[in-house]
């Protein structure tokens, strides 16, 4: 049976800016993708690896070394901050990777097949009616390793995937159960309706990236946004079983806690934008001649 979105699910997504779709991926495919993720972790080499760390913690500057900045059309491996003691890995590499990115959907056959040749995903995108001509722009496996899996601070995705007009949409697939104990996602439902994307991650001259203010348009006034982590904000956890899908609107505020538990929380995610939207050359992620942003309805 091909996937169909119910009118209730569509309304829920429009109202909340996020939607959990239970059992979207059949169990054998979920297992295949998890196995493939573990194979990638087993097979990558540490030789010559710059040991780039990925972290969203406030004290950390955003990663911006060449290994990260040139990963948009490759499969690369980014480490957990807590997987190091005195500059040395304190666990096997398979248990030390934070995420694998950013082009599994073009560079790995299993993830390519799942992402781009999937009737259920195409049906869902059509029925959601969020994009006319969706383009898949990046993909990642986020491992949220046991004991050292880093928290992802509250954010919206459009700050990192800025298009004009805004059009980022995330597809987040649980490959393992995600619970409040091992760092499931949480959302501020409806925040996409009041959030204003006032900053964006830019590549900066001389290397690296920085979150910078977007200049206000003439006559535009700065909108004061709530302190999303402060008092009175209603966060809702989105626990998932392996195979569930979470849709994430580009402006909805979300986060995930650190994983100090003994269970990893592998997920696969990709993001899409509208094909006709303007993609700025300052964005860290850039299409390349070999790997242009990929049409979903190709
Ligand atoms: O998987 C997570 O913990 C965070 C994912 C996330 O924030 C995103 O995909 O935008």
What is the tens place of the pLDDT at every residue in 96-133?
A: 999 999 999 999 999 999 999 999 999 999 999 999 99
Is pLDDT above 80 for 60? Answer: no
Q: What is the rounded distance in angstroms from the CA atom of residue 99 to the CA atom of residue 55?
A: 10
CA distance 38 to 286: 27
Which of 54, 142, 182 is the pocket-test mutation for ligand 1 (most atoms within 8 Å of CB)? Answer: 142
> Encoding tokens for residue 118?
């999937």
Alpha carbon distance 284, 43 (integer Å): 27
Q: What is the mean pLDDT of residues 155-166?
A: 97
For the chain, give me the number of helices (H) and strands (E)?
A: 7, 18
Atom in ligand 1 nearest the alpha carbon of residue 256: 3
Q: Is 240 helix (H, G, I), strand (E, B) or coil?
A: strand
Express the helix, strand and coil content of the chain in percent, nearest 5 each. 20, 25, 50
Check whether domain 7-215+232-280 has CATH 1.20.120.420, yes or no? no
Per-residue pLDDT, 207: 85
Per the prediction, the chain carries an average pLDDT of 95
C-alpha distances in Å from residue 171, one per residue of 48, 124, 206, 262: 32, 11, 33, 26
Reported confidence tier of residue 62, pLDDT bands at 50, 70, 90: low
Any residues with Cβ below 6 Å from ligand 1, and which? 142, 144, 152, 157, 170, 172, 185, 248, 254, 256, 267, 269
Atom 1 (ligand 1) nearest CA = 142
CA-CA distances (angstroms) from residue 106 to 23, 71, 74, 123, 129?
25, 12, 8, 20, 24
Residue 25 CA to residue 50 CA, distance in Å, equals: 35
- Reading the block at residue 254, the tokens are 């979300």
The pLDDT of residue 61: 53
Model confidence band, residue 282 (pLDDT cutoffs 50, 70, 90): very high
Domain ranges of the chain: 7-215+232-280
Residue 267 CA: nearest ligand 1 atom is 1
pLDDT per residue over 190-228, tens digit each?
A: 999 999 999 999 999 888 899 999 999 899 888 899 999
């Amino acid at each position: 049976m091909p996937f169909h979105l119910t009118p209730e699910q569509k309304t829920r997504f429009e109202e909340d800016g996020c939607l959990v779709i239970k059992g979207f991926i059949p169990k054998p495919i979920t297992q295949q993708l998890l196995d493939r993720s573990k194979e990638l972790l087993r097979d990558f080499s540490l030789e010559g690896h710059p040991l780039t760390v990925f972290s969203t913690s406030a004290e950390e500057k955003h990663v911006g070394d060449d290994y990260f900045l040139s990963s948009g059309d490759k499969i690369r491996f980014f480490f957990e901050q807590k997987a190091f003691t005195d500059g040395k890995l304190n666990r096997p590499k398979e248990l030390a990777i934070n995420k694998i990115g950013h082009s599994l959907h073009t560079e790995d056959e299993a993830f390519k097949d799942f992402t781009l040749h999937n009737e259920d995903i195409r049906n869902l995108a059509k029925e959601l009616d969020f994009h006319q001509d969706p383009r898949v722009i990046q993909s990642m496996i986020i491992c949220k390793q046991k004991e050292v899996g880093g928290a992802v601070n509250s954010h919206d995705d459009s700050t990192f995937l800025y298009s004009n007009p805004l059009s980022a949409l995330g597809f987040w697939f649980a490959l393992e159960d995600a619970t409040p104990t091992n760092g499931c996602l949480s959302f501020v439902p409806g925040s996409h309706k009041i959030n204003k994307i006032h900053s964006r991650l830019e590549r900066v001259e001389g290397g690296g990236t920085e979150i910078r203010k977007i200049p206000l348009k003439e006559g535009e006034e700065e909108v004061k946004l709530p302190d999303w982590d402060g008092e009175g904000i209603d966060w809702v956890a989105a626990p998932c079983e392996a195979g569930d899908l979470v849709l994430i609107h580009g402006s909805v505020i979300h986060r995930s806690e650190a994983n100090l538990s003994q269970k990893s929380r592998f997920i696969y995610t990709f993001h899409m934008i509208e094909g006709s939207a303007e993609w700025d050359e300052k964005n860290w992620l850039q299409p390349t001649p070999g790997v242009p942003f990929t049409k979903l309805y190709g």
